[in-house]
Each structure stands twice: as C-alpha cells, then as structure tokens.
Amino acid sequence: MNPVEAEKEYKARNKYKAKRGLRYFFRKCKEQKELLFMSVPFLIWLFIFKYIPLGGWVMAFQDFKPAKGFFEQEWAGLDNFRFLFGNERFFEIMRNTLAMSIINLVLGFVTAIALAILLNELRNIAFKRIVQTISYMPHFLSWVVVAGLVSTALAMEDGIVNTILLHLGIIDSPIMWLGVAHYFWGIIGASDVWKSVGWNSIIYLAAMTMINQEQYEAAEIDGAKRIQRILYITLPGIKPVFVILLIMNIGYILESGFEAQYLLMNSMNMDYAENLDIYVLRYGISMADFSLATAAGMFKTIISFIFLFGANKIAEKLGEARLF
C-alpha cells in the first residue's frame, strides 16, 4: 500500500471511529435523559454565578470607578498587580492563607480518616450510630454559632479551656487565647476539625463498605491482627478516594475560609488572622478599591487552577487515581 492510500485509509478509519463515538454519545444521552434534565438547573446556576462574573476580571486592568460607564473607565494595565506584589502586607496575608489552609488540610484528612477507621471497627451498631450522629451535628451549625462557642470556650475568666488547664496544672494563669496572635492558626485548625470531622468521615466510611470483606476474612485466617488489617487492607482500599479528595482540596489551597477568620479576628491577632478573602473584602468593600480587589481575586483563581492541574498531573505520573 502506497503512502497516499495508507493516509486515506487512516482518515477513513478515524472518521468511522468518530461516527461510532457520536452514536454512542447520543445513545447514552437518550438512555440517561432524566439525569441530564436534572442537571440543567445546576448548569444554569453554574453559568450565571460562576462564568458570567468572569467578565468582571477586566476591572483588574482598569482604574475602576463605579460612577463611570463601562466604556469610560481608565485603563491601568498591570498597575494593580504591581501594587499587589509590591505590597509587603500582601505576602503576610499569603503566609496566613497558606498556613491556615495547610493546617486545615492536614488535620482534616488525618482526623477524618482516623474517625472513619474507628467507626468502621466498631461492632456495637447502636453505639456506632450514636457516635456518628454526635460527630455529624456540628457540621450543620453556622460559623456564627461556632465562633460564639469558641470565644466562650477560650474566655479568660470562665472559659472551659483555661479552667481545665489550670486544674491540671499545665498553666499557672489564664491565657487570652484570642489575644495571642500566633495561637490563631491552631485555634482555626481545631475549630474546623471539630466542626467538619464527622461530615468528612462519611465518604471514607462509604469507601470502606466497598472493600471486599473476603480480604478481611482471609487476612484473619492467616493470623493478621486488627492493626495489620487496617494497614494492609483498609488504608489501601480507600487510597483512590483519598487521592481524588486530596487533588480537589489542593485546588482550594488559597481558600482557607472566611467566616471563622472574620468572626474570630480582632486587633490583637489580625497579623495572623487576615487571609486573602478578608483582604479582598477589605479593599473591595471597605476601601472601595474594586480594581485591586479584583486583581487579588483573579490571582487566587489562577493559582488555584495551577495547583489543581499540577496535582492531577502528578497523580497521573505516579499512577494514582486522578480527577480527570
């Protein structure tokens, strides 16, 4: 077969595969039309609230004044980004954002997996359900309520934390926990764990139910102890779920939260409490510098995309489960 005929055959084969792929696609759409109709409201919401606002990114390159029309704005080029990256306070805020995100990420994964394993090993169904219910409940509390509970628990005079530590002899005098700046990251991490650990453990419990129980029976027959079964069966069994969730959470690494930091922040801990979201709010609303706030938000989104695609690519290179 000469090269011309080979190329024609190659194109014809690809065209046939494309037609087969389209037929398969439309057949699947027809079979799952109910699911497609159910997804339409979500797609509309996604388009309206996530994609249309992207047009506002143009403000990052303008000296935006709300009183002027869209076509009357003065262009600032990259001045907002130069100010952003030349501002020493911005790098402190990035430090706070990354520190709180990493603390929440590590503590969130470790505690959720640990709780899921402990619940999975419980044999008393009634006690297991009670523990699950108690651990899930804080997830449904507003951060306004949680911040009030945290402030009360950490109060100097009659806060439960100071009371317990004083009775145990760990401290000699009450500590103003929210007044010591370098304690703030730990307080946010502990608060986030208390609020979300039960809810985060649900998906790991679901993953554990998918593990073939015959593996546990075979390991028990071979003399494997409970710890060994957890290390060599349970943890490898939930590894794909862990990797997928890790990739997704790395994509949100610059979103360390807003409500908790905003509600627990004060003038004494502000140097460690202010993160990127609060920075955007302060410049965008309090100071009415919409262009700078948009530039900061744009920077956060782009870096999040880089982290997400980078983590997914690394997982692919390592042969692990990936998001896409």
pLDDT digits (tens, 9 = 90+) for 239-278: 989 999 999 899 888 888 889 999 999 999 999 999 998 9
Average pLDDT over residues 70-88: 86
Which range among 1-15, 107-121, 284-298 shows the weakest confidence by mean pLDDT? 1-15
Residue 185's pLDDT is what?
95
CA 47 from centre of chain:
21
Nearest-10 crossing angle of helices 184-209, 143-153: 120
Residue 19's pLDDT is what?
60
Tokens read off for 306: 């880089």
Q: What angle do CA 184, 189, 194 make, to 5 degrees?
A: 125
Q: What is the pLDDT of residues 223-243, one digit of tens each?
A: 889 899 999 999 999 998 999
Which range among 2-11, 148-157, 197-206, 277-286 shows the weakest confidence by mean pLDDT? 2-11
Residue 16's pLDDT is what?
53
Where helices occur in the chain by DSSP H, the ranges are: 3-31, 33-46, 79-86, 88-121, 125-136, 143-153, 160-167, 184-209, 213-221, 226-229, 235-250, 259-264, 270-273, 276-281, 290-317
For the cut 60, the answer to whether the pLDDT of residue 4 exceeds it is no
pLDDT above 70 as % of the chain? 93
For the cut 70, the answer to whether the pLDDT of residue 18 exceeds it is no
d(CA 148, CA 56): 35
Average pLDDT over residues 96-105: 94
- Under DSSP, the state recorded for 191 is H
CB 9 within 8 A of CB 1: yes
Residue 93's pLDDT is what?
92
End-to-end CA distance of the chain: 39
Grade residue 32 by pLDDT with cuts at 50, 70 and 90: confident
Q: What number of other Cβ atoms are within 10 A of residue 187's Cβ? A: 22
Average pLDDT over residues 196-213: 91
Q: What number of other Cβ atoms are within 10 A of residue 12's Cβ? A: 10
Domains along the chain? 78-317 (1.10.3720.10)
Residue 27's pLDDT is what?
81
Grade residue 21 by pLDDT with cuts at 50, 70 and 90: low
Average pLDDT over residues 295-302: 89
Q: How far is CA 205 from CA 113, 209, 287, in A?
A: 9, 6, 46
Q: What number of other Cβ atoms are within 10 A of residue 118's Cβ? A: 13
Closest CA relative to residue 154, chosen from 184, 121, 117: 184
CB 160 within 8 A of CB 174: no
Q: pLDDT averaged over the chain? A: 87
